Amino acid sequence: MSAANPSPSPLLLRGGRLIDPASGHDGPADLLLRDGLVAEVGAGLQAGDAEPVDCDGLVVSPGFVDLHVHLREPGREDAETIETGSRAAALGGYTAICPMPNTDPVADNAGVVEMVAARGREVGLVDVFPVGAVTLGQRGEELAELGAMAHSAARVDCFSDDGHPIREARLLRLALDYAQAFDAVIADHAEDASLTDGAQMHEGEVSAILGLQGWPAAAEEMVVARDLLLAELTGGRLHLCHLSTAGSVTLVRAAKARGVQVTAEAAPHHFSLTDEAARSFDPVYKVNPPLRSKADVEAIREGLADGTIDAIATDHAPHAREDKEVEWASAPPGMLGLETALALTVTELVEPGWLRLDQAVERLAAGPARCRRLPGHGGPVVAGAPANLTVFDPAAAWTVEGPKLASRARNTPYHGRQVRGRVVHTLLRGDFTVRGGKAVR
């Protein structure tokens, strides 16, 4: 899918720890890369004509996959573009990203998704797999041209009205049924809008103290329960976006136990921040779904630990400064995520013992790739596979600096925060997109 050099120079990644959940490999290994593929994996490989790349003390893993990003193109290129978002993704260790359809115009037809995919190929920093809208204009009234998008040059196999819930159960049932014709996934934003109209933050003790209208956990959980019942009824493939509450995790865990075809994601901000952040009234902490309670954060961590939640997805949501830096009630929800996801996963999940490092890689790479069955991503890292790889230092300490991020926007809630875990190299089909921690272009 990429415009990268079709014949990159051969490389030998030497001395690293290969963590490849898809094959079960976790240990020292050298990787010989040739013609965009993994040519050989083993110990003590000879470089020959390949350029040696020292990976001593580093982890080599399948490239990360983000199921949920907002690139704002077309329509809001002042906030982000496919190029700037792709660069941010590569710097975050990603080799594949899935942009959501809430653009202007909405990606509800073959023309828009093909444009997004083509622009992604032209930029060539990550593979861009567009998500199509479930309903026309994301208005929740009638199904969009799912078949046309699935059979387009973009080969869309995931549909979502993200940013808007699919209000009518009838429509969601139709979508889950219809999508089976082309083995596609329906990804829902679980929210009962009748309970969140005017809501500004999570409903709880903090919202009561601040006098802000609350967003109850039940507004998410009611729709999660409905969606799971419809997935069970239809046999369709359901993906639940950005789970944020303990109740949602419990519902998904039970549904998986009875065989429902469901996968789920959680965003880093929902396992690293709580509603206490809203006390600052800084709109950088305003997000949809909102930051929840400490108990919800722990439940999300537990869900990631036991596999109830399959994937860490950033919900990267850039906003132009003039839109976001206003009073809380007027600010749009959303925050940056691509360049900090690995560090937050290591800092908030691995170091405290919620996840082992191999589990973290699984949730960042193999798990999300499996949710969408993305070809060539998530591993296994074996001879003949595309060399889509991330090399990172799990021990590297650094401080997040918003103005230095590659995204066109600056709305990170982690500015000034010290974290651990940093990407050193990212390779897309054997070509460096990031080398030595810097984007190659």
- 3-state secondary structure at position 240: strand
pLDDT, tens digit, 9 for 90 and up, residues 43-59? 999 989 999 999 999 99
Q: What is the pLDDT at residue 7?
A: 82
pLDDT at residue 326 tops 90: yes
Q: Which two tokens stand for residue 89?
A: 């993704």
CATH number of 63-372: 3.20.20.140
What is the per-residue pLDDT for 4? 45
Q: Which pLDDT value is given to residue 190?
A: 98
When pLDDT is cut at 50, 70 and 90, the band that residue 130 belongs to is very high
Q: What does the mean pLDDT of the chain come to?
A: 97
CATH of domain 11-60+384-439: 2.30.40.10
Question: Residue 6: is its pLDDT beyond 90?
Answer: no
pLDDT at 308 over 50: yes
Beta bridge partners of 26: 19
Per-residue buried b or exposed e for 288-324, using 16+ beta carbons within 10 Å of the residue's own CB: bbbbbbeebbebbbbbbbeebbbbbbbbbbbbbeebb
N- to C-terminal Cα separation, the chain = 18
Number of Cβ within a 10 Å radius of residue 133: 30
Q: Which of 20, 30, 296, 315 is catalytic?
A: 315
Q: Pinpoint the alpha helices (H) of 160-293.
A: 169-179, 193-196, 205-210, 217-234, 246-257, 269-272
Backbone φ, ψ for residue 216 (5° rounding)? -70, 150
In this structure, what token pair is assigned to residue 193? 């809008």
Angle, helices 217-234/169-179, rounded to nearest 10 degrees: 40
Predicted local confidence at residue 1, as pLDDT:
46
Q: Give percent of the chain above pLDDT 90.
A: 98
| pLDDT value at 203 more than 50 | yes
The pLDDT assigned to 3 comes to 45
pLDDT digits (tens, 9 = 90+) for 240-292: 999 999 999 999 999 999 999 999 999 999 999 999 999 999 999 999 999 99
Mean pLDDT of 73-77: 98
Domain with CATH 2.30.40.10 in the chain: 11-60+384-439
- pLDDT for residue 2 is more than 50: no
pLDDT at 5 over 90: no
d(CA 19, CA 124): 25
> What does the pLDDT read at residue 168?
96
Could you give the CA distance from residue 297 to residue 277 in angstroms, rounded to a whole number? 13
Active-site residue, 104 included = no
Q: At what angle do helices 82-91 and 110-123 cross, to 10 degrees?
A: 50
Span 322-346, average pLDDT = 98
